Amino acid sequence: MAEQSIDGAAGRVTAADGDRSTRARITILLLSLALALSMFLSLTSGASDASAVRVIRDWLTGASPADAALAARDQLIVYDIRMPRVLLGVLIGAALAVSGAVMQGLFRNPLADPGLIGVSAGSSLGAVAIIVLGTTWLAPVTLALGALALPLAAFFGGLAVTLLLYAIATRHGRTSVATMLLAGLAIGALAMALTGILIFMADDRQLRDLAFWQLGSLAGATWPKIGTIGPVIVLALATMPFLARGLNALALGEATAGHLGIPVQRLKYTAIVGVSAAVGASVAVSGGIGFIGIVVPHLLRLAMGPDNRCLLPASALLGASLLLLTDAVARTIVAPAELPIGIVTAVAGAPFFLWILLRKRGIVDL
């Protein structure tokens, strides 16, 4: 048959019957190994010569080290600096990549990304408001919520933007992608302008706090921060797999998803709240790290297809690995100083994004 020879020539789906679930399972397995490797590399590399391997070996064997002072220093570096940073990288990389994948499923477009459509900007605005106004106008809020004030403000900032975007871009059950992207641009710009006003009001100490918001960085990783945002991200990520089937159905449109038995409204609201929580928590500690949310799901769709049941866990794994490796680059390329990781992801991600646009001109029709 002529059709089959065309199929063979295209050769993009090697499984002749169009079932890519085996390939997806293998991909997930390989990505798990990659994540373990990335975590090990991140833990063992850094500006100092502290040996993570020795620290772990001493801890495992209970051996008392020969040089107690050196061992104590190494232990400090590994436990209190590198480990929280690795964990934070895993949490945030997974959160950003999965949020991107969920948002793309929700908006039915491979270009939707929390960073691009203003969700991160909304989260930043919330967080900056707490940093700058936390001791004055918003003092009651920070007093009442303590360490949670910052992540909560970031969450509500992101949530407000996402809800607003959805309300603007969706009419009669159809989400207009052009409207979504343009509205996201406008809302993002507005949020950044408001953030700018707050920065204008900030004092010197606050300005130093704020510097990393602009660029994004994992440098602020501490155990208490992980204790605050870790549960939020883990909870948000744990909800996402339950959305996978619904998001698959949503690829056929909201009406058809409903006919297939998916409670579409509940799916949309769960996804929006989950994404806002994950992005808000990430932005609260690390600022705006762009492009992970768009690059990771896109690469994975090329490798294993768009089935969200596999795409979401794979995105978490690849997002975490990619952010850890990027962070390793950011930490070492100009050592002993370090580049904000947001710069590295943007330098690598922006050209990639343009490449998607050029390649997929037919599919992403606005």
Partner 1 sequence: MIEACDISVAIGGKRIVSHVDFAARPGEVTAIIGPNGSGKTTLLKALTGEFSYTGTVALNGRDLSAMKPVEAAMLRAVLPQSTSLSFPFTVREIVRLGLIGGRSGVLPCEDARLPERALARVDLEGFAGRFYQELSGGEQQRVQLARVLCQVWAPVLEGRPRYLFLDEPVSSLDVKHQLIIMNIARDFARRGGGVVAILHDLNLTAMYADRIFVLHGGQLVAAGSPTDVLKDELIEKVFDCRLKVGALPAANMPFVLPQSAA
Task: Report the DSSP beta bridge partners of residue 175.
Answer: 170
What residues are paired with 220 via a beta bridge? none
Handedness of CA 130, 131, 134, 137 (dihedral sign): negative
Binding part of the chain for partner 1, among 25-33, 223-231, 244-252, 339-347 by CB under 8 A, reads: 244-252
23 binds partner 1 (CB under 8 A): no
Among 34, 56, 179, 245, binds partner 1 (CB under 8 A): 245
| CB within 8 Å of 220: residues ≥ 6 apart | 212, 285, 286
To partner 1, the closest distance from the beta carbon of 292 in angstroms equals 19
**Residue 248 in the binding site for partner 1 (CB under 8 A):** yes
Per-residue contact flags (x/-) with partner 1 for residues 299 to 328, judged by CB under 8 A: --x---xxx---------------------
- Of the candidates 264, 311, 304, 254, the one whose C-alpha atom is nearest the C-alpha of residue 102 is 311
Which residues does 283 contact at the CB level (< 8 Å), separation at least 6? 120, 123, 124, 127, 154, 158, 213
Do the beta carbons of residue 272 and residue 159 sit within 8 Å? Answer: yes
Binding mask 63-102 for partner 1 (x = CB under 8 A): ----------------------------------------
**Could you tell me how many residues of this chain bind partner 1 (CB under 8 A)?**
38
x/- letters, 199..238, toward partner 1 (CB under 8 A): ----------------------------------------
Q: How far apart are CA 186 and CA 180, in angstroms?
A: 10
**Shortest distance (Å) from residue 299 CB to partner 1:** 13
**Residue from the set 76, 139, 255, 350 that interacts with partner 1 by CB under 8 A:** 255
Residues 107-146 touching partner 1, rule: CB under 8 A, are 108-110
115: three-class secondary structure by DSSP: coil
Nearest to 73 by CA among 36, 40, 46, 38: 46
By the criterion CB under 8 A, which residues form the site for partner 1? 1, 3-4, 7, 10, 12-13, 15-20, 108-110, 172-173, 245, 248-249, 251-253, 255-256, 258-264, 301, 305-307, 363
